[in-house]
Amino acid sequence: MMTSLAHWAMAAGFVLILIGFYGALTNRNLLRMIVAFCIADTGVNIVLVAVGHMRGRTAPILDSAVPVADAVSRIIDPVPQALVLTAIVIGLGVTAMMLAYALKLYEKKRTLDIAKFTELKW
């Protein structure tokens, strides 16, 4: 069953996500959490790309190798690739935001321990 490259890539992606999540759930350091999320993001992106993969096909660029007429049978699904581009950029934006947060939080309390920011609760 697990034979195609797509499966392996996807599995790798999922594992990355889980690793990222685990990191985010167990590290109390803000920066480590952010890194963990980056890992998870990467995992997501891999899964995204993996879904678009089709065995034995090529990139969706029409050039001499892939004439317009054959495109349907020669290229892989271009949509996930487009989506992953967007996803990456958005992930970048989010990461930047989180970093900014981390910076400000550190300025406030001189600590990066998430367990120290619990004044708001209940």
- Please tell me whether residue 110 binds other proteins under the rule CB under 8 A: no
CB of 98 to other proteins, least distance (A): 5
Return d(Cα 50, Cα 99) in angstroms, integer: 29
- Please tell me whether residue 109 binds other proteins under the rule CB under 8 A: yes
Site string for other proteins, 15-44 (x = CB under 8 A): --xx--xx-xxx-x-x--x---x--xx--x
79 Cβ contact partners less than 8 Å away, ≥ 6 residues apart: 52
CB of 58 to other proteins, least distance (A): 11
* 93 exposure class (CB count in 10 Å sphere: 0-12, 13-18, 19+): exposed
CB of 95 to other proteins, least distance (A): 9
Site string for other proteins, 57-76 (x = CB under 8 A): --xxxxx----x--xx--x-
Transcribe 19-42 into DSSP letters.
HHHHHHHH--BHHHHHHHHHHHHH
